[in-house]
Chain A
Amino acid sequence: MTMLSIENLHVTIGDKEIIKGLSLDIPAGEVHAIMGPNGAGKSTLSYTLAGRSGYDVTEGSATLDGDDLLALEPNERAAKGVFLSFQYPLEIPGVPTLTFIRAALNAQRKARGEAEVSAPAFLKLAREAASKLKIDFDMLKRPLNVGFSGGEKKRMEILQMAILSPRLLILDETDSGLDIDALRIVSEGVNAMRSPERSMLVITHYQRLLDYIKPDRVHVLAGGRIVASGGPDLALELEAKGYDQYGKAAA
């Protein structure tokens, strides 16, 4: 069954059209990778799905479980199960990490009509998730991402993902800024979340991440459109031949 369905999506930022008729279906339980050169529209796609203002959809649709995603506020999308792991996670000075995640979790639960998670139950959840990702629990008492290294920030993203337990994961260049050890820890965290009820959209410039997070399908995004789709081998081919062969579509 299709979980995320994008049809003929057009997105403009300001006066500039970035996404020019993109279509993509991700069935439940599958991991799809989107690869593409810089400027292809990869981040625009992830921000549009998450609902960032300034990204205007001029045509087309995006649905999650058949419901119109584009009509919802960012927080409503989150409550429906959308999670965007940011390429550059924001620093939130003055807000302890634990406070933030608990507020987010309870806001989502409230929006879905579920009971809030009590403080002790939440701490247990956070402790377990932190230990799996080899995050020092004391770090979670510090303001979110403030003064954290690039690798630590990415781990915090995966930690939030593990606790919030979304249904659609969008990983935007999660491998950027990670050394090989951090990449392995982060990928293990993501792989642990693979399930038949969960879909993932992995956006990356390099094939390297896909050695760790094995996709079911690989799509090439160039010039605002999907120009090629295939199995995991497509990523290897791209690594060998580069994106130049799609140069015309990009132009």
Chain B
Amino acid sequence: MSLVRAIEARNAQLLPGRRDESWRYSDLRGVLRAIPEASPEAPHPRTPAPLGDVEADHEIAVINGRSQTTTFRAAAGSSGALRLRIVSRADHTLHQGAFAIDIEDGANLTLIETYEGDGLAYVSDFSLAVSLGEGARLERIVLLDEPADAISISYSEIDLKPGARFAQTVIASGARLQRHETHVRHPGGGADVRLDGLYLLDGKRHADLTTVLAHVAPDGTTRQLTKGLAKDQARGVFQGRILVERGADRTDARMGHHALLLNDGAEIDAKPELEIYADEVSCAHGNTLGSLDEQALFYMRSRGLPEHEARALLMQAFIGEVVDRIEHEGGRKAVADWVAQRLEALA
């Protein structure tokens, strides 16, 4: 990645930016004029983790890029939940972290992965590598809940074996520039992937949910649903790419992105891409942009709901499907609570 190169060379000119096709809508180079100094070590935060109500069997915190361990292994046939807390406690400095998770054959893991920060204008760069063995299952719930002036880049690579199941829900509240990238290598052979996303943005926040998924062998299914709300001068970016390689026959993939602009001045950029080189493929994508239904709002208000409450209810109804698709019950409830609170700011 050019981001890593730029940091190593301490040369901001090498950062990806709007001239790079995949960073067109998230101009990191334009936002970060110089590579900041490295962040110092920082103590463990006293505040509870976001989604802290979800019970986890293991908890690992990565603070300013540092953690006691950088790997986690879910043993074959095991079942459990891991909380991975990516914490930034830094002012105007930069840190990088990396982590790897190995989910062995038949293991079942729920990953609660949260990004939080209590610093000022920090730059966080984090990468995660996950491998799933045959018949392994991972449900990954990612919450990006960071300060408005932060720059946060997160990147993940997911590698599945046949028969594995990977389900992901990313919830983003944006930052000065917040980008979450997921790359999935889909082996088919009955493997199943769900790649969902939700962005809830206000002020000048920017969130970019980018996914690249490659079906490399026959008989794989993918379901992708991303929804978003953008208010004030916020900007939401969705880039979803599904590649069906030669020989990945009978692939069944569906991608949907639906967003609402809550006022003039907000912006949403969507780039859904399906690239197909195989036969007997069933692929579809849908992309819609709209605004809150003014007639429905009047109807609701005429029944007594104050405007704020009516708007919150309509927004909740719009994005609810993404939350409902979270399978882990505790995770779904915690996300629903977080989302309801976030909608208060947007309504």
Contacts and interface: CB of A to CB of B under 8 A. Distances in A.
Interface residues of B, number: 22
Contacts of A90: 293, 295-296, 299
Contact of A164 (B295, B299, B300, B303): B303
Contact of B304 (A53, A78, A95): A78
Interface string A71-107: 0011101110011101001111111000011011101
Interface stretch (B1-9, B62-70, B126-134, B309-317): B309-317
A100 B313 contact: yes
A78 B317 contact: no
A102 to B, nearest CB: 11
B330 interface: no
B306 interface: yes
B302 interface: yes
A75 B299 contact: no
Interface in A87-133: 89-95, 100-101, 103-105, 107-108, 111
B298 A105 contact: no
Nearest to B296: A90
B183 interface: no
Contacts of B295: 90
A51 B310 CA distance: 15
B305 A94 contact: no
A160 interface: yes
B301 A78 contact: yes
A51 B314 CA distance: 20
B317 A107 contact: no
B337 to A, nearest CB: 17
Name, among A50, A51, A94, A164, the residue most crowded by chain B CB atoms within 10 Å (CB to CB).
A94
Contact of A93 (B303, B306, B307, B317): B317
Given A90-B296, A92-B317, A79 B302 contact: no
Interface string B52-67: 0000000000000000
B132 to A, nearest CB: 33
Nearest to A103: B305
- Main DSSP-derived SS at the B contact region: helix
Nearest to A111: B304
Interface string B99-119: 000000000000000000000
A83 to B, nearest CB: 8
Contact of B298 (A52, A108, A164): A52
Q: How many A residues are at the interface, by size bracket?
A: 20 to 34
B338 interface: no
B155 interface: no
B314 A78 contact: no
A78 B303 contact: yes
B316 A75 contact: no
Contacts of A86: 299
Given A74-B298, A103-B309, A107-B309, A92 B303 contact: no
Interface in B307-337: 307, 309-310, 313-314, 316-318, 320-321
A103 B307 contact: no
Contact of B299 (A82, A92, A103): A92
A51 B302 contact: yes
Name, among B298, B300, B304, the residue most crowded by chain A CB atoms within 10 Å (CB to CB).
B304
A95 B305 contact: no
Top-10 shortest CB links A-B: A94-B317, A78-B304, A108-B304, A104-B303, A74-B301, A90-B299, A104-B304, A107-B304, A75-B301, A95-B317
10 contacts: A50-B298, A53-B298, A73-B307, A75-B303, A92-B300, A94-B314, A95-B314, A95-B316, A100-B303, A104-B305
Given A53-B298, A94-B320, 6 more contacts: A51-B301, A92-B300, A103-B309, A104-B300, A104-B305, A108-B304
